[in-house]
Chains A and B, each alone.
Chain A
Amino acid sequence: MSRSRRNWNEVNAASLARWIVLTGFLALTGLIYVYLTLQLYHLGDRKKALETEVSNLKMQNEVASAQIAALTSRAALQRRLKEGYLKMIPIAEHNIVRLTIPNRNPDDAIQPVSNPRSTR
């Protein structure tokens, strides 16, 4: 029994534990570093994808704006008028009623007002 005890190296449990904790900590730090680095790459790719998406949406918006401008342009409306899609009748002079705007004195006591706080 005593002979066998002599052939075995004694293990310092506290020291071993310290090393294990230290190694584990270092390993964990490394893993976190790798994970965070991968996350950064992933977020970079996501950012790029979002940028592309925004850019595509902007392009679609520009194409739509161009189509609206083309369809509402003077030339397009004239064409539609000729094709008979639109009908425009000039207003006869006797049908126009012109209202003379009175020259309002700024010091007039009574002024039309609107009260935004009024709920009724």
Chain B
Amino acid sequence: MKWNSRTRCAIVCLGFILLFSLFSFRLIYLQMVKHDQYAGLAAEKHVIKQPIFAERGTILDANNEVLAHNVPVETVVVDATHLNDVETTVDLVSKELQLPRGEVSEKLHTDRRYIVLKREVAKANADSFRQQLRAKNLRGIYFERDATRIYPNGVMLCHVIGFTDFDHKGIQGVEGSLDEYLHGQDGYRYIEHNRAGQEIVLYRGQERAPRNGYQVHLTIDLNLQNIVENEIDAAMREYSPKKATIILMRPQTGEILAMANRPAFDLNKRSDTKPEQMKNRAICDMMEPGSTFKIVTAAAAINEHKFGLDSYIFCENGVWNYGGTPLHDHAAFGDLSVKDILVKSSNIGAAKLAVTLGDQKFYEYIRRFGFGDRTGIELPGEISGLLRSPQLWSKISITHIPMGHEIGVTPLQMATAMSAIANGGKLMTPRIVKSITTADGKTISTLKPIVLRQVISPQTANQIGMALRGVVSDRGTAAAAAVPGFTIAGKTGTAQKVGPHGGYEKGKEVVSFCGYLPAEHPEFVGLVVLDDAQTKPEQNYGGTVAGPIFSHIAEKAARYLDLEPHEEIRRATPVERVALTSSSRH
């Protein structure tokens, strides 16, 4: 072979061909054979699944007033390895975020890559801080978008609304019970980012939009709630009870119009709240109802046709020995009609009604009125109360339960039972949720009234209603519950407080009044319960303590609901509250 220029040229060309062939083969190998493997590795480094957070739904009242909603905030975090001037950063962070300098310094003098400096920083503060960081060319501080729950009304309706935890999960009240509707569903997006961490929009991958949480509309009317909250606060100031509960309910539908408990707490300042303050006592606490329970006894006796409203029963002149135990009335009553047993609140009369019915039948009626079962309201933590079966009753239980002893009921159960009387004997499921809609108003679910059962006949309910009108009269135990211009039906209750270790606590009572207005066509049922009101012993009764509170609420509520008063009743009813004597025990 001649080693001339032609040959040399051919060898060089061959070399190049081989070299490029090698490159080509390598390229083909990498691009085709190893494509999936390397694409996966690249994706691991650059592709991330970015969550798109759903917004939590708003809670509104019956008139679309906002009760709970979200406000955007930012979480300030630090990557300590990215800090370029630690001391200046510490100074700025402690000044802008109002954190102790020592604490910030300790956090930043580490090699940790994710340190949360402060959560729930308002957007305006975060923006100002961001600008300061830019101006001073400080790196390593990052901002994460978040949202926090705001309750514009603070303490008002706190037990019903409830609250969420750090992860935005509802843990109490409607926030807890309807969390699956309020929470929504987070979306996601696969994104690719460059070396600077910025998204390359061109390479956006699969995406699923978030579904924001639904709006929950409550049956609560904030105007009525406001009336109730003001009155319960006034009662707390005047009587300093340990606990207090007020419920307003629409008897025809079971809608809760207002519900307030004390002690209460501010939904926006929960850090220093004690667990006792967070309890919704309307559904979580049970009490002996006292004489308000006599409506059940009388309704059962009349519905079973054992007695009529005008049937007379001898009330033993104040003391009746039954089962070896004396049963007392607060006054020496002789013959009383069934109506007067309610009006005068005779324990002996009520006991005799129940004895005539018998254990089993009486127990059946108690259950039919909903006692011993959860009402099914859309609130978490409801208890069923305490009702023993007749097999566990003592010999004298049949004389004590009719007057609301030896039984534990929740305030809501009591209000629901009174609603059944006001609603022609139909027991309704109490409801707090009116409807669930999307943010743009499309209805997802409307909760219709649920009739649980016809507890007593409409005629019996009407008769009991007539008797209960007498309670709120000059003859009855709750004259102070009257509202000028309206006929009110109701029943007082005064029960000795059960101690934590059993037995009754001397001088401590649970006073209550449960009634409805107007008696002819009830618009609302109200229950007022005060536990251990601090007042003179001779005045610590349902009629004298809870009755006037009901009267104030009912008067304002009637005005708000624009109920037309009857002139003749207004003239007939004395404007001054009727002062009760110590004889009006119940």
| Shortest Cβ gap from A78 to chain B (Å) | 8
* A interface majority secondary structure: helix
Q: Is A66 an interface residue (CB 8 A)?
A: yes
Which of B70, B147, B226, B565 contacts A74, CB < 8 Å? B226
A69 interfacial contact with B, CB 8 Å = yes
Taken together as a complex, chains A and B put the C-alpha atoms of A63 and B225 apart, in Å, by: 26
A70 touches B70 (CB 8 A): no
A62 and B70: CB pair below 8 A?
yes
In B56-98, the 8 Å CB interface with A consists of: 65-66, 69-72
> How many angstroms between the C-alpha atoms of A78 and B225 in the bound complex?
13
Q: B156 CB to closest chain A CB, in angstroms? A: 6
Name B153's contact: one of A40, A44, A65, A75 (CB within 8 Å): A75
Which residues of chain A (33-73) have a CB below 8 Å from chain B? Answer: 40-41, 44-45, 47-48, 59-60, 62-63, 65-66, 69-70, 72-73
For A78, what are the chain B residues with a Cβ–Cβ distance below 8 Å?
Answer: 226
Residues on A with beta carbons closer than 8 Å to the beta carbon of B72: 59, 62-63
> Is A76 interfacial (CB-CB < 8 Å)?
yes
Task: Count how many pairs of residues, one from A and one from B, have CB atoms less than 8 Å apart in the complex.
Answer: 56
CB atoms of A41 and B66 under 8 A apart: no
Per-residue contact bits, chain B 145-164, to A (CB 8 Å; 1 contact, 0 not) = 10100101111100000000
Q: CA–CA, A75 to B222, complex, Å?
A: 11
> Given A62-B70, A63-B72, A66-B71, A98–B564 Cβ distance below 8 Å?
yes
Chain A's nearest CB lies how many Å from the CB of B581? Answer: 31
Which of B179-187, B194-202, B413-421 contacts the other chain? Answer: B194-202
- With an 8 Å Cβ cutoff, the count of chain A residues facing the other chain is 22
Q: Which of A40, A44, A63 contacts B71 (CB 8 A)?
A: A63
Asked if residues B156 and A75 are in contact (CB atoms below 8 Å), the reply is yes
**Nearest residue in A to B485 (C-beta to C-beta)?**
A93
Could you tell me the distance between the alpha carbons of A77 and B423 in the complex, rounded to whole angstroms?
Answer: 36
A113-B389 Cα distance, complex, nearest whole Å: 65
Q: Given A48-B199, A62-B72, A98-B564: A70 and B156 within 8 A (CB)?
A: no
Cβ-defined contact, A48 with B201, below 8 A: yes
How many angstroms from the CA of A71 to the CA of B485 in the assembled complex? 36
B565 contact set on A, CB distance < 8 A: 93
A73–B201 touching, CB < 8 Å: no
Q: List, in ascending order, chain A residues with CB within 8 A of B150's CB.
A: 66, 69-70
Residues of A within 8 A of B69 (CB): 65-66, 69
- Distance in Å: Cβ of B172 to nearest Cβ of chain A: 19
- Complex contact B222–A74 (CB within 8 A): yes
Inside 8 A of A63's CB, which chain B residues have their CB? 71-72, 123-124
Contact A47 B201 (CB under 8 A): yes
B164 to chain A, nearest CB (A): 15
Chain B residues closer than 8 Å to A98, beta-carbon distance: 562, 564
Q: A residues within 8 A CB of B225?
A: 74
Complex contact A75–B202 (CB within 8 A): no
Assuming the contacts A44-B200, A59-B123, A63-B72, asked whether A69 and B155 have C-beta atoms less than 8 A apart, the reply is no
Shortest C-beta distance, A113 to chain B (Å), equals: 28
Report how far A78 CA is from B233 CA in the complex, Å. 13
CA distance A4 to B141 in the complex (A): 78
> A40 to B187, alpha carbons, bound, how many Å?
25
| Min CB–CB distance A101 → chain B (angstroms) | 12
Q: Determine if A70 and B199 form an interchain contact, defined as CB atoms under 8 angstroms apart.
A: no
Are B152 and A76 interface neighbours, CB within 8 A?
A: yes
Q: A59-B123, A75-B153, A75-B156 are in contact. Are A44 and B201 (CB under 8 A)?
A: yes
| B71 near A45: Cβ-Cβ < 8 Å | no
Contact with B along A87-109 (1 / 0, CB 8 A): 00000010000100000000000
From residue B21, how far is it (CB to closest CB) to chain A in Å? 23
- Structural contact, A74 and B123, CB atoms closer than 8 A: no
Q: How far is the CB of A57 from chain B (nearest CB, A)?
A: 11
Shortest Cβ distance from residue B88 to the other chain A in the assembled complex, whole angstroms: 27
Residues of B within 8 A of A65 (CB): 69
Q: Closest CB-CB distance, A80 to chain B, in whole Å?
A: 14
Contact between B201 and A45 (Cβ–Cβ < 8 Å)?
A: yes
Contact with B along A26-38 (1 / 0, CB 8 A): 0000000000000
Chain B residues in 8 Å Cβ range of A73: 66, 152-154
Task: Give the CA-CA distance A51 to B147 in the complex, in Å.
Answer: 18
Interface membership of chain B positions 32-74, coded 1 if the CB is closer than 8 angstroms to chain A and 0 otherwise: 0000000000000000000000000000000001100111100
Q: Which residues of A contact B71 (CB under 8 A)?
A: 62-63, 66
Residue contact A41 to B154, C-beta cutoff 8 Å: no
B121 smallest CB distance to A (angstroms): 13
A74-B156 in contact (CB<8A): yes
Q: Distance (Å) between the CB of A75 and the closest chain B CB?
A: 5
In the complex with contacts A62-B72, A70-B152, A74-B156, A44-B202 CB distance below 8 A: yes
Known: A69-B69, A74-B222. 10 other contacts (CB 8 A): A40-B202, A41-B202, A44-B200, A44-B202, A62-B72, A66-B70, A70-B150, A74-B65, A75-B152, A75-B155
12 A-B contacts (beta carbon < 8 Å): A44-B200, A44-B201, A48-B199, A59-B72, A62-B70, A63-B71, A63-B123, A66-B69, A70-B150, A73-B152, A74-B152, A75-B153
Using a CB–CB cutoff of 8 Å, the interface residues on chain A facing chain B are: 40-41, 44-45, 47-48, 59-60, 62-63, 65-66, 69-70, 72-76, 78, 93, 98
Q: Closest 8 interchain pairs by CB?
A: A44-B201, A73-B152, A66-B71, A59-B72, A44-B202, A69-B66, A69-B152, A75-B154
